[in-house]
Amino acid sequence: MKVTAIKGFSDIFPGEVETWQWVEEQARRVFAAYNFAEIRIPVLEKTELFSRSIGETTDIVEKEMYTFEDRDRRSTETTEATKLTLRPEGTAGVVRAYVESEMYKVEPVRKLYYMGPMFRRERPQKGRMRQFHQIGAEALGRGDPFIDAEILLLLSDFLGALGLTEPSLQINSLGCAECRPQYRETLLTFLRQRRESLCDNCQRRIERNPLRALDCKEPGCIHATKEAPAIIDSLCAVCREHFATVQRLLSETQVRFALNPRMVRGLDYYCRTTFEWTSDQLGSQSAVAAGGRYDGLVEALGGPPIPGVGFAMGVERLTMLLRMKDSGAPRGPSVYVVWIGEKAREWAFPAVHRLRREGLTVEMEGETRSMKSQMRRADKLGAQAVLIVGDDELQKGHALLRDMASKQQEAIALAEIVAKLTARKAS
Ligand code: ATP
Ligand code: MG
């Protein structure tokens, strides 16, 4: 019997993985330019890390986490502490690591990024997986609006580096501990009057977390909350000023954005600036990247009151967009070596080795085959050039180099092959 992969978990095969590597390379390059350093955190954490940070009444914590009991728990430990969860997102783990290692004692301002798999038990569909991948960044230790804008510029530069100009930016402010409670009351009054139109899930949690109703994707809830009071109308003076500066900085740096007063994000830890980059080309799973400010999170996880701002983007959705525009497409080997006859094979084997050591991607035919079928294979692999050697050519001291795009063919002296092909690669 065949053993299959788990629903919502997928393999990333050669052919596709090159696009992933390219996306990761561009991310590393742009992160480095903004002075972000990589942090690698565990995939598994204590469940309470997520329930305390993301929030008990969020979709993620209520129903999407992969949680299990660790086997060798000691009887003295409480049940909660023995439960482990596959990380559904990266921010909680990064902040846990920052607090636990007391990184802030050396230097409170830390700019960190991560990449890797996340796990959420959602209904799998296009652009929505149970194991998916995020690239994310967190800037800890700065509460000023300039760093919010810096993060958005970084994202804008990154999407630009991928050649993705279509995703658009929406921003909102969620206020702070000063002004959000009052907004919460205003919203709650509004929602109570429309209770019957809300989905069961929202009805159940409006008293504890009314903002969730604005993030709900049920058509009934979207309709019922159309006229809901907007949080930006309830901001305190400090939050208003912060948000105005973020907008000014974005305008000055030519980053286009739209205000979306309904955007509250699915995680409870956000405050002030929140944002989402979305693409119309992705259907209903339109969010490519999302994030915001989370000033209370470090303290909630046992650290000092240190502010933070960050984002995460979905690599599956990014590569889907790249596939649609067919850029960053994987390329075949730079040279495919076609050989005819055993002597040619004996010559080709060490020659291929030398070329590979020069950094060229080289493949050679593995079996005795006709020239025609070897050429067909080179074509199928997308080789940029084919080097043809036969016993005849060997005797004459040269090989034929065929450019697969221009179909031009030239004879090259055997002694000059390495130099010629490396020069070709560099040009
Ligand atoms: P959505 O509204 O699509 O559910 P989200 O608000 O839950 O997204 P975040 O938690 O902010 O998403 O995660 C940041 C990014 O990670 C998203 O913008 C998206 O690109 C990606 N992402 C989130 N969940 C999934 C998933 N189940 N499968 C694939 N990508 C995902
Ligand atoms: Mg979600």
Ligand nearest to the CA of 128: 1
Residue of the CA atom closest to atom 19 of ligand 1: 314
Instruction: Return the bridge partners of 402, or none.
Output: 386, 409
CA of 265 to the centre of ligand 2 (A): 9
**Pair (68, 166) in one structural domain:** yes
pLDDT in tens, the chain (427 residues): 899 999 999 999 998 999 999 999 999 999 999 999 999 999 999 999 999 998 888 889 989 999 999 876 565 555 556 899 999 999 999 999 999 999 999 998 999 999 999 999 999 999 999 999 999 999 999 999 999 999 999 999 999 999 999 999 999 999 998 999 999 999 999 999 999 999 998 998 888 889 989 988 889 999 999 999 999 999 999 999 999 999 999 999 999 999 999 898 867 788 999 999 999 999 889 999 999 999 999 999 999 999 999 999 999 999 999 998 865 455 789 999 999 999 999 999 999 999 999 999 999 999 899 999 999 999 999 999 999 999 888 999 999 999 999 999 999 999 999 999 988 877 6
**Pair (140, 119) in one structural domain:** yes
Output the pLDDT for position 245.
Answer: 98
Domain boundary among 291, 324, 357: 324
Residue 400 lies in a domain: yes
Domain boundary among 294, 324, 354: 324
Provide the number of structural domains found in the chain.
Answer: 2
Extract the tokens encoding 131.
């194991």
Backbone conformation region of residue 35, classed left if phi is above 0, alpha if psi is from -120 to 50, else beta: left
CA of 11 to the centre of ligand 1 (A): 19
CATH of the domain at 362: 3.40.50.800
**Pair (418, 314) in one structural domain:** no
Q: Among 286, 317, 321, which is best to mutate for testing ligand 1, by the most ligand atoms less than 8 A from CB?
A: 317
Ligand nearest to the CA of 125: 1
Ligand nearest to the CA of 118: 1
**Pair (301, 279) in one structural domain:** yes
Output the pLDDT for position 35.
Answer: 97
Residue pair 223/202 in contact by the 8 Å Cβ criterion? no
CA of 4 to the centre of ligand 2 (A): 26
Domain boundary among 324, 350, 378: 324
**Sign of the torsion formed by the C-alpha atoms of 51, 55, 56 and 62:** negative
Atom in ligand 1 nearest the alpha carbon of residue 277:
18
CA of 225 to the centre of ligand 2 (A): 19
- Domain enclosing residue 31, as ranges: 17-179+235-324
CA of 346 to the centre of ligand 2 (A): 57
Output the pLDDT for position 426.
Answer: 73
Q: What is the 3-state secondary structure (H, E, C) of the chain?
A: CCCCCCCCCCCCCCCCHHHHHHHHHHHHHHHHHCCCEECCCCCEEEHHHHHHHCCCCCHHHHHHCCEEECCCCCCCCCHHHHEEEECCCCHHHHHHHHHHCCHHHHCCCEEEEEEEEEECCCCCECCECCEEEEEEEEEECCCCHHHHHHHHHHHHHHHHHCCCCCCEEEEEECCCCCCHHHHHHHHHHHHHCCHHHCCHHHHHHCCCCCCHHHHCCCHHHHHHCCCCCCHHHHCCHHHHHHHHHHHHHHHHCCCCEEECCCCCCCCCCCEEEEEEEECHHHCCCCEEEEEEECCCHHHHCCCCCCCEEEEEEEHHHHHHHHHHHCCCCCCCCCEEEEEECHHHHHHHHHHHHHHHHCCCCEEECCCCCCHHHHHHHHHHCCCCEEEEEEHHHHHHCEEEEEECCCCCEEEEEHHHHHHHHHHHHHC
**Pair (408, 261) in one structural domain:** no
**Pair (249, 304) in one structural domain:** yes
Residue of the CA atom closest to atom 6 of ligand 1: 266
Residue 23 lies in a domain: yes
**Pair (163, 268) in one structural domain:** yes
Residue 230 lies in a domain: no
The structure tokens 């730079």 sit at 334
Residue 227 lies in a domain: no
Residue 200 lies in a domain: no
Residue 62 lies in a domain: yes
Q: Among 58, 66, 134, which is best to mutate for testing ligand 1, by the most ligand atoms less than 8 A from CB?
A: 134
Residue pair 231/292 in contact by the 8 Å Cβ criterion? no
**Pair (277, 372) in one structural domain:** no
Residue 41 lies in a domain: yes
CA of 342 to the centre of ligand 1 (A): 55
Residue of the CA atom closest to atom 2 of ligand 1: 287
Extract the tokens encoding 323.
């596939």
Cα angle, residue 306 at apex, residues 267 and 248 outer, rounded to 5°: 75
Q: Among 118, 130, 164, 318, which is best to mutate for testing ligand 1, by the most ligand atoms less than 8 A from CB?
A: 118
Q: Among 94, 270, 313, which is best to mutate for testing ligand 1, by the most ligand atoms less than 8 A from CB?
A: 313
Residue 229 lies in a domain: no
CATH of the domain at 285: 3.30.930.10
**Pair (342, 317) in one structural domain:** no
Distance from C-alpha of 52 to C-alpha of 95, rounded to nearest angstrom: 12
pTM of the entire predicted model: 0.86
CA of 286 to the centre of ligand 1 (A): 9
Give ligand 1 pocket residues (Cβ under 6 A).
89, 120, 122, 127-129, 132, 134, 266, 285, 287-290, 312-314, 316-317
CA of 313 to the centre of ligand 1 (A): 7
**Pair (339, 395) in one structural domain:** yes
Residue of the CA atom closest to atom 5 of ligand 1: 266
φ, ψ dihedrals at 125, nearest 5°: -160, 180
Atom in ligand 1 nearest the alpha carbon of residue 286:
3
**Pair (102, 131) in one structural domain:** yes
Output the pLDDT for position 111.
Answer: 98
**Pair (153, 43) in one structural domain:** yes
